[in-house]
Amino acid sequence: MIKRYATFLFLATLMIGSAHAAIVTSDTDLSVTDHREGATITTFYDSLTNVVAGSAPTSSGTNRVGLDVSDVSGQSITLASAITLDSIYMGYNDQQSSGTFDLRVDAGYDGSFDHTYRVTLETVGDLQTGGGNGGPFHFIQFDLSAANITLGAGAHSFTLVGITDEGEGGFLFGTTHGGDGYAGGDRLFASNGSAGNAQSGSDQFFAVTAVPEPSAALLVLSSLVRHCSCAVRRA
């Protein structure tokens, strides 16, 4: 009985996993996770910690954009203080086919593309839960905590640019439509591989999180350990 139950759990896990996109990245400094949260996407957004910039998704008043080759979609942001970048989350509400993209982080928002990562999002099945332009219902998380990217106070941007022509890029990334959900920047869009043009009054559904700063207690403990080590060496 226990063995049959374990087998059932294993098969159920495989079935759940098969509903997610297969994600391929060519850089060890980047890991990518497909968060499919259904109608609880706002709850998922609210559960994120150390958010330094973002536009919370809703279930209405939205639009979406697919990325063919050289199409660009992203967001400019403004930081109040310097951070070490943890993750970038981009909302989407449908997948239609596989697509390959470059994720570009522009520190200083000057078109320099300081950090670029190649990502392939391969669909498994057909999601088709977006309900037209409604949504988005899901988030792609680009985890850059291993890249040690420092962003100073001021303006920055991130963009996805389509590398392959896969029929609207496969993944349709949600944007606000006729509403400005984030005051510190604008959605960026272009069809020529550039840094993207600011779309005033429109924002990507996104979140940017920072690597947590060490707590005061941890800093004190670290200082004590160093002090004790020095005392032992002197002895």
| Residue 26 DSSP symbol | S
Domain positions in the chain: 2-234
Structure confidence by residue, pLDDT tens digits, 57-89: 665 556 777 788 888 999 999 999 999 999 999
Which helix (H) or strand (E) is 3 found in, with range? helix 2-18
Task: Tell the residue number behind the tokens 């707590």, with chain if given.
Answer: 215
| Alpha-carbon gap, residue 65 to 73, rounded angstroms | 8
Kindly indicate the confidence band of residue 9, based on its pLDDT and cuts at 50, 70 and 90: very low
Structure confidence by residue, pLDDT tens digits, 175-211: 776 566 789 999 999 988 888 999 888 888 899 999 9
Opening angle at CA 117, ends 114 and 118, nearest 5: 145
Cβ-based burial of 84 (10 A; exposed 0-12, middle 13-18, buried ≥19) = middle
Q: What's the pLDDT score for residue 12?
A: 34
Neighbours of 206 (CB within 10 A): 27
Cβ-based burial of 228 (10 A; exposed 0-12, middle 13-18, buried ≥19) = exposed
